[in-house]
């Protein structure tokens, strides 16, 4: 069956199996997807910053995150998610913030100092939030929707995937 998985996905499968059950860092858009989906999967379509996602994406994300023992985030990611969630209105906004508060209780917050982050090459390339994520990666997997960031980190032999990668892993394309 593994021979039916594309080569790039095959490398990701090997990397994923090496860290399965350990630690995962979840980037801002996916953490927002998780918060909104846990509150009401139907609200995903009506949330401006989630227009590229579906309820199926939420279920896939939820299933993928389930086996990890440690869910990690940074203060920078939480700030981005809070700002993105702030773009909603009314009762939905209140419910998303309540769900986000519940997630914050579950996620381990680990934030390197900004003065340390800004000295890294990733700061100039990706900004504060993503450079902080890059510093936390040894031994953990970064799950992001930023393909450019994921590719860069993979080129540095760090574990990084997009939700699209997860989709291909869990629903492999058959050859032939």
- Domain ranges, ordered by start, for the chain: 2-170
pLDDT of the residue at 138:
72
pLDDT digits (tens, 9 = 90+) for 20-34: 558 899 999 999 999
- Name the residue with tokens 């209105």: 89
Confidence tier at 110 by pLDDT (50, 70, 90): confident
Q: Is the pLDDT of residue 1 over 50?
A: no
> Which of 63-72, 96-105, 124-133, 165-174 is least confident?
165-174
Tell me the CATH architecture of domain 2-170. Answer: 3-Layer(aba) Sandwich (3.40)
Q: What is the 3-state secondary structure (H, E, C) of 104-120?
A: HHHCEECCCCHHHHCCC
pLDDT of the residue at 2:
26
Q: Which among 19, 20, 34 has a CA at the least distance from the CA of 77?
A: 34
- Name the residue with tokens 């990733």: 122
Token pair belonging to 44? 């995903």
Alpha helix ranges (H) inside 41-141:
55-65, 75-85, 90-106, 114-117, 121-126, 128-136
């Amino acid at each position: 069956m593994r021979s039916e998985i594309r080569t790039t996905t095959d490398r990701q499968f090997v990397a994923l199996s090496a860290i399965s059950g350990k630690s995962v860092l979840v980037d801002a858009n996916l953490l927002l997807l998780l918060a909104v989906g846990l509150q009401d999967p139907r609200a995903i379509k009506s949330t401006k910053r989630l227009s590229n996602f579906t309820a199926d994406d939420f279920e896939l994300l939820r299933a993928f995150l389930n086996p990890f023992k440690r869910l990690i985030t940074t203060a920078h990611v939480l700030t981005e998610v809070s700002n993105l969630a702030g773009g909603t209105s009314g009762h939905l906004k209140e419910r998303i913030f309540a769900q986000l508060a519940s997630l914050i209780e579950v996620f381990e917050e680990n934030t390197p100092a900004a003065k340390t982050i800004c000295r890294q090459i990733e700061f100039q390339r990706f900004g504060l939030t993503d450079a902080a994520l890059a510093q936390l990666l040894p031994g953990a997997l970064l799950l992001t929707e930023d393909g450019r960031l994921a590719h860069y980190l993979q080129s540095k032999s760090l574990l990084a995937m997009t939700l699209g990668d997860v989709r291909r892993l869990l629903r492999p394309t058959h050859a032939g």
